[in-house]
Amino acid sequence: MNFQSLRFRLTLWYVAILGIILCCFSGFLYLTLSRSLHQYMDAKIKGIADFVVASYTRPYSKYRLNLDRIMEEATGMRPTGKFIQILDKTGRIGLKSGSLGRFQLPVSIQSLKNASKGRVTFETNRSIGTSPIRIVTVPIVEGRRITNIVQVASSLEDMEEALHTLLLILSITIPSALAVASLGGNFLANRALRPVDEVTNTARAITSYNLNKRIRIKKVKDEIGRLAETFNEMISRLDQSFKKIRRFSADVSHELKTPLTVLRGEIEVALRRGRRGDEYRAILRSNLEEINNMTKIVDDLLLLSRADTGGVPLTKTPVDLSEFLSEIQVQSQVLTTSKSIDVYFHNNQEVRVLADPLRLKSMMLNLIENGVKYSPVGSRLDITLEKEDGLAVITVRDQGIGIPQEALPHIFDRFFRVDKARSRKEGGSGLGLSICKWIAEAHDGDISARSQMGKGSAFMVRIPTMD
């Protein structure tokens, strides 16, 4: 048996608690029974003593010299196991019952003192025979003076034998019950922890290649069931994370492989034969363009990687979005000149937020550049600022080709491109919207999009206001 196992500890605790309960109950039972028997014995001998005292002033006084006959006349039987003797007030024995024979009941100094004061005394004595006796000493008062003293005693042998038998039964029963309880506790622990073994075995069997494996959950919604559900949910999240990592790795490989392939091909072509200076310059310009693309991809990847680990600090300051977006509108004219696209800013109220101006500017320029890239020549791009339920809502709306509805849930995924609308011919690393999403969430906000094919797209950024 593994003494460090949870099964052993549960069984041990179960047996220990049960043992404490049984010992407490047995001790209470033994003490209660002992006290009850002693009280019963005291009441019985006190009743006999009271009857003997009364015999001196009542009709039984004619049998004064025969204590056994007094008891027989009063009870209809000769009492057995009871000893009676009568003393004078100095302690000398006057009468005693035949059951005492040649013995006499011991008289303590304390009982005589109590009797002289009219008090009743109960004592236990072991000086007569092998068994203890219980003695009651009662004074006989005639008028206002103590004339005699009555002592009645009874053997405690039967009572002690009963208590000893009870103690023996408890001594055998408690260990036997604990032995049975240990077996039952071990059985219950095994049964209760069986699902934990299943969780353990399943966890051991799961690797990065079979994250689709799950723990079978029964309908019972107990603690183990909730543990299994939580474990399955954790595996599901890990499965999704691994899929994203694999997809991300494949996308990174693809994104970097393309410009490297172009670079290699152009360099191989350039080395096949001698060329004029303008031809070499054209090849170098093309190479530089591909290198710039790779640099942009690597920079964006590093930014997102640092953001995932919390390594990108934000310097948040109060920002007036009305003034901020007005400046963005002016700066965006550089991005829209090539397509003669007009940028308009619509705002009818002052909105202040706590934000990092540099990151906020990067997000807005990303969204504007994205809108300009896929909008036709001569179209327009609208930026609106509204306030809804304590949120500043910034909307960038273009008149581009739009995004298919099935692609909308994925446009903020890394390296995701919609066919035709997100081709490499238009440039970009496929990470711009992912960066926008990170910036929005870093400001305790969110970003969403809606689109209609052929009529353009709108991106909404929501950030909590300072009000």
In angstroms, the CA 311 to CA 370 distance is: 26
pLDDT confidence band for 449 (50 / 70 / 90): very high
Q: Is the pLDDT of residue 224 over 70?
A: yes
In angstroms, the CA 148 to CA 67 distance is: 14
Tell me the average pLDDT across 77-88: 73
CA torsion angle 36 42 44 45 (round to 10): 160
Crossing angle of the two packed helices 277-308 and 432-442, in degrees rounded to 10: 30
Q: Give me the numbers of helices (H) and strands (E) for the chain, helices first please.
A: 10, 12
E strand segments, 113-250: 121-125, 133-142, 145-155
In angstroms, the CA 426 to CA 432 distance is: 13
Tell me the average pLDDT across 112-134: 84
Q: Is the pLDDT of residue 204 over 50?
A: yes
Question: Quick one: pLDDT at residue 26?
Answer: 92
Mean pLDDT (the chain, rounded): 81
Q: Three-class SS string for 370-416?
A: HHHHCCCCCCEEEEEEEEECCEEEEEEECCCCCCCHHHHHHCCCCCC
Tell me the average pLDDT across 138-149: 83
Tell me the average pLDDT across 235-258: 75
Least confident of 3-7, 116-120, 398-402: 3-7
Distances, alpha carbon 187 to alpha carbons 11, 192, 228, 397, 440, in Å: 9, 9, 22, 68, 56
Distances, alpha carbon 329 to alpha carbons 93, 317, 333, 361, 416, in Å: 127, 21, 7, 11, 27
Residue 443 host element (H or E): none
Tell me the average pLDDT across 106-134: 84
In the three-class reduction of DSSP (H, G, I as helix; E, B as strand; rest coil), residue 152 is classed as: strand
- The dihedrals phi and psi of 434, each to the nearest 5 degrees, come to -65, -40
Q: Give the distance between the most distant pair of CA atoms in the chain.
A: 159
Q: Which two tokens stand for residue 112?
A: 């005589």
Contact 361, 391 (CB under 8 A): no
Q: To which residue do tokens 């909590």 refer?
A: 464
Tell me the average pLDDT across 102-109: 82
Structural domains present in the chain: 6-161 (3.30.450.20), 223-308 (1.10.287.130), 317-464 (3.30.565.10)
Residue 110, amino acid: Q
**Most confident region among 33-42, 50-59, 303-312 by mean pLDDT:** 33-42
Question: Quick one: pLDDT at residue 79?
Answer: 55
Report pTM: 0.52
Half-sphere exposure of 257 (CA within 13 A, CB side): 6
Question: Quick one: pLDDT at residue 164?
Answer: 92
Contact 100, 85 (CB under 8 A): yes
In the three-class reduction of DSSP (H, G, I as helix; E, B as strand; rest coil), residue 189 is classed as: helix
pLDDT in tens, 392-437: 999 999 988 888 888 888 888 877 766 544 445 555 567 788 888 9
pLDDT confidence band for 220 (50 / 70 / 90): low
pLDDT over 70 percentage in the chain: 87
pLDDT confidence band for 102 (50 / 70 / 90): confident
Crossing angle of the two packed helices 223-272 and 157-205, in degrees rounded to 10: 20
Q: What is the DSSP string of 295-315?
A: HHHHHHHHHHHHHHTT-S---
**Most confident region among 113-117, 218-222, 228-232, 317-321 by mean pLDDT:** 317-321
pLDDT over 90 percentage in the chain: 19
Residue among 120, 129, 130 at smallest CA distance from 152: 120
Q: Is the pLDDT of residue 363 over 80?
A: yes
Half-sphere exposure of 37 (CA within 13 A, CB side): 19
Q: Is the pLDDT of residue 153 over 70?
A: yes
Neighbour-count burial of 334, counting CB atoms closer than 10 A to its CB (0-12 exposed, 13-18 middle, 19+ buried):
exposed
